Homo-oligomer: A and B are copies of this chain.
């Protein structure tokens, strides 16, 4: 974590817009990192096309037999893939599976996730919809280290997003995603710079 160029391995299930924001930050020299590999649990995920276009090693890795978690033989294969490319950190970018103990032990405090709410509010699925239904006036996104809980790990960066009159789940989600694309590179740069520590469960960068 103290080297200058952070080697990022990405896991994703979707179109890869968060990966794109990381690529863009690297190109703009605001993030001292390199994406060394991309793996997906969805055969035709857009994130794999995006990786190919950028010349990044990428692979679909069959997550069977589990539906919602990454465990067993599949977990081993993901770890081997990330290790083979020398990933320092594992970045979950819309990866729709729960990462389990073996991965978290191997990459202790080096698995990173982004969540579309201001945690600890609205953990779990469709957080923007939860926020809208609850009636909050401010929500946002959270980049955090992954621990064994659901969206409970130490927080690296948060960005706030106002809920506007007339917002639908889609319009709110879209505005949150815009902030995600700023928050993720910013959080990864904190890891790349290596000047952070945990105090209790707080992440301190001073």
Which residues of A approach B to under 8 Å, CB–CB? 118-122, 132-138, 140, 154-160, 165-166, 200-206
Contact = CB atoms under 8 A, between A and B. Distances in A.
Question: Closest 3 CB pairs between A and B?
Answer: A135-B202, A137-B158, A165-B206
Contacts of A119: 121, 136
A134 B160 contact: no
Contacts of A156: 137
A136 B165 contact: no
A190 to B, nearest CB: 11
A122 B135 CA distance: 16
A97 to B, nearest CB: 25
Contacts of A120: 121-122, 134, 136
